[in-house]
Structure 1
Amino acid sequence: MMIRWRDNSIRLIAFFMAVLLWVYVTNEQNPVSSHTYQVPLTVQGKPEGYVLSGLPGKVSIKAKIPRNLSATLRLSDFTAQVNLRGITEGEQQLPVQVTAPPGVEVIQVTPKVVRVAADKITQKNVPVTLNLKGEVARGLVQGKPVLQPQTITLEGPGKLLAGINHVGVAVDLSGVENDLVKEVTVQTGVKGVTASPSRVLVTVPVTSLPVKELPVRVELTGAPAEGYLVGEVAVLPATVQVTGPKQVIEALTEVNAQAVDISGVTKDVSREVGLVPPNGVISLQPKQVHIAVEIIPEVIEPQPDPEEEPEQENPENITGQ
């Protein structure tokens, strides 16, 4: 029994020595080195009707490669996949599955697990709002805009659609002289969200404003110097043209000129003054008028002397008649 144990021990030691010798010779003749590859991450079982986020485009793979393989090894010999079959709405963690050629040992994968957020694609109807910029040509007024259609359908991830209650389109009216009819592209402003239809028709009526001839009212402030009075006040032109919305124009009876101060004056006043535009009026023509104020000396009638006796009539003259 003792001799048999010794024989087995010698054989076992010899086996280990052979293995060590093989490993040594192999490493010497065909050494192993580490290499890192950036491998594209592919997806299996991508579900229909979902938008995915969080998936990296590549993963980093570190592998031990023998010398005899390193010269012929290509990046396409590695694969990195994540399986999305059965994924549900929300966020979940999925492992990265890596394959390598025979004889190559993968020692590290970064990341090993990816965090994937799945959002279901839905639809939502929202109203279209119109933002008007600029003003139509002078003397014209814009009417009530019309949008066709007034509601559109948005499509995209449910979380994104939840924050959208309307979409806007903008139209510039600067200098427009006639009815504006224009197709405008709908911009959702959110990546991944589309609109259907993608264009809406905007119609903005443009009409002329009514014009009314109104007299000019002059306001004088202060008073002339002592011994002088205000005579005739003349306005040139006496009337002006007022342009504005019908309801505004119909309520006006006159246009005020800026006040003219005549405090302490002793001679005629001649001045160009501006007009005060009434509320809601679009334009005044002209915008200023010439005002002439006549200043005249005050005339004092002579008063009789109370101490002077009135002349008596001759009685003879009376009887002689």
Structure 2
Amino acid sequence: MKDSKVYNWCVRNNIGFKLLALFLAFMLWYYVAGQRDPIIKRDFTLPVEARGLSSESVLVSPLPDVQVSTRGMRSIMRDVKGDDIRVYVQISDQEVGEKLLPVQVESPFGVQVVSISHERIKVDLDVMSEKQVPVQVLVRGEAAPGFTYRTASASPEQVTVKAPSRFLDEILDVQAVIEIKGAKNDISQQVKVQLAKNYGEQVTVQPGTVQVKLPVVTSGPVKTVAVTAALQGEVAEGFVVKSQSVEPKTLQMTGPIEVMANLGEIRTKPVDISGAQGNITKDVELVLPAGVISLGQNKAKVTIVIEPVEAETPQVIA
């Protein structure tokens, strides 16, 4: 070996010393570079993506976030954002049910993944299905006194529910809730449908709203009665009540059958004409028997015409 030409050439040209010098130079550069651009660590909390999921399959529960510890040169790490690192599980088996899958990470060049908080995570798969279910209208609140409501209707009467198959069997209907809040007239409004149980975003309903109609009717018989004014006191001396009128003259009333059968008129509260020397016009409340409800207004406009007494013309005796 020592007599070979290569060996003699290496000895003659000090190749060994040169290689040693090159190695020492590299180590010195590495040390200096490390001081100027040190290795640092950074932690990221990132969501896990599901890759390979077919259009028919769905995740029953959302995948957890994981903590990823990374390291690299400061010049590189300071520009790294969470979106630059992708954490995912690869779903190749679309079989329904739970399974443990390894967590995989994609990181930019120069970024080394040191550790992951979850090496494996549980994935729960199901198949999306859909079916038609009826709309149940729920009425909340009470109608105005003297009124009640009949059976409500929804249009359309059925909606389409799309959900993981394990949830679909539980869903028998959807609900449309309508508030009546002292209603006296029929109600027709667009109402958002809802499920009896909160399934989050995994269950969708189409259409999301329905048109609800709720008939509101009187709870007793309806009768049209006259409205009359009640007067109190006497006009001033030398004056007389020429006429009186009430507007409206009649109103529709409802109430218990036994009361309505004997109800002929509705009077206003007394209008005081004591000492009056001119016309009086007032809005006066009605006096309603117990249980009787006015289907119109609860006041009437009373007008009283008051004039001086006409002097008698003396008779001439021929």
Give the alignment's TM-score, normalised by structure 1.
0.51
Distance (Å, rounded) in 2 between the aligned partners of 1:81 and 1:144:
53
**In the alignment, is the contact (CA less than 8 A) between 2:47 and 2:63 conserved in 1?**
no
**In the alignment, is the contact (CA less than 8 A) between 2:160 and 2:206 conserved in 1?**
yes
Cα 1:72–1:204 shift into 2, 3 Å? closer
The amino acid of 2:184's aligned partner reads E
* Structure 2 counterpart of 1:117: 124
* Structure 2 counterpart of 1:190: 199
* Structure 1 counterpart of 2:172: 165
Trace 1:65-214 onto structure 2 (pairs within 5 A). Answer: 65-66=72-73, 70=76, 74-75=80-81, 78-100=85-107, 105-188=112-195, 189-192=198-201, 193-208=203-218, 209-210=220-221
Shift of 1:79: 4.0
Cα RMSD between the aligned structures? Answer: 4.3
**In the alignment, is the contact (CA less than 8 A) between 2:49 and 2:63 conserved in 1?**
no
Distance (Å, rounded) in 2 between the aligned partners of 1:27 and 1:50:
51
Distance (Å, rounded) in 2 between the aligned partners of 1:286 and 1:103:
88
Cα 1:107–1:136 shift into 2, 3 Å? closer
Give the alignment's TM-score, normalised by structure 2.
0.52
Shift of 1:184: 1.5
The amino acid of 2:124's aligned partner reads A
Distance (Å, rounded) in 2 between the aligned partners of 1:155 and 1:92:
24
**In the alignment, is the contact (CA less than 8 A) between 1:62 and 1:109 conserved in 2?**
no
Give the total of aligned pairs: 212
**In the alignment, is the contact (CA less than 8 A) between 2:76 and 2:111 conserved in 1?**
no
1:35 to 35, 38, 41: 41
| SS across alignment from 1:159 | helix
1:225-254 deviations in Å (ceiling 9; x for gaps): xxxxxxxxxxxxxxxx9625xxxx7xxx9x
Give the structure with higher Rg (CA): 1
Cα 1:136–1:104 shift into 2, 3 Å? closer
| SS across alignment from 2:212 | strand
Q: Note if 1:56 corresponds to 2:95.
A: no
**In the alignment, is the contact (CA less than 8 A) between 2:70 and 2:111 conserved in 1?**
no
Trace 1:266-281 onto structure 2 (pairs within 5 A). Answer: none
Cα 1:110–1:47 shift into 2, 3 Å? same
Distance (Å, rounded) in 1 between the aligned partners of 2:121 and 2:222:
72
Cα 1:54–1:114 shift into 2, 3 Å? farther
The amino acid of 2:256's aligned partner reads T
The amino acid of 1:195's aligned partner reads V
Unaligned runs of 5+ in 1: 1-13, 213-240, 254-283, 288-321
- The sequence identity of aligned pairs, in percent, is 27
Trace 1:202-281 onto structure 2 (pairs within 5 A). Answer: 202-208=212-218, 209-210=220-221, 243=256
**In the alignment, is the contact (CA less than 8 A) between 2:68 and 2:113 conserved in 1?**
no
Distance (Å, rounded) in 2 between the aligned partners of 1:77 and 1:174:
55
Unaligned runs of 5+ in 2: 1-16, 224-253, 262-287, 292-318
Distance (Å, rounded) in 2 between the aligned partners of 1:151 and 1:160:
18
**In the alignment, is the contact (CA less than 8 A) between 1:59 and 1:80 conserved in 2?**
no
